[in-house]
Amino acid sequence: MASVVYGSLCAGTSLDIQARFSAEAMALALAHRGITVCQGVPAMYAKLLEHLSARGEPFTAPSLRFLYAGGAPLPPALQREVETLFGLPLSNGYGLTETSPTVTQTPYTQHRSDGCVGVPIPGVEIRIVDLEGRDVEAGKPGEIWVRGPTLMKGYYRNPQATAEVMRPGGWLASGDIGRRDAEGALFIEGRLKELIIRSGFNVFPVEVEAVLNSHPAVSQSAVVGRDAGGNEEVVAFVELKPGATATPGELVEFAGRLLAPYKRPSEVILLPSLPASPSGKILKARLKALLQPTPSASTR
| Domains defined along the chain, listed by start | 2-88 (3.40.50.12820), 119-190 (2.30.38.10), 195-288 (3.30.300.30)
Per-residue model confidence (pLDDT) at position 121 = 95
Per-residue model confidence (pLDDT) at position 300 = 39
* pTM confidence score: 0.83
CA dist 26 and 23 (Å) reads 5
Per-residue model confidence (pLDDT) at position 7 = 87
Cβ neighbour number for residue 201 with a 10 Å cutoff: 11
Task: Based on DSSP, count helices (H) and strands (E) in the chain, helices before strands.
Answer: 8, 15
Beta-bridge partners for 202: 197
Q: Where are the extended beta strands (E) located within 199-285?
A: 201-203, 218-227, 232-240, 267-270
The stretches in the chain having pLDDT less than 70 are 294-300
Residues of 235-248 as b/e, b for ≥16 C-beta within 10 angstroms?
Answer: bbbbbbbeeeebee
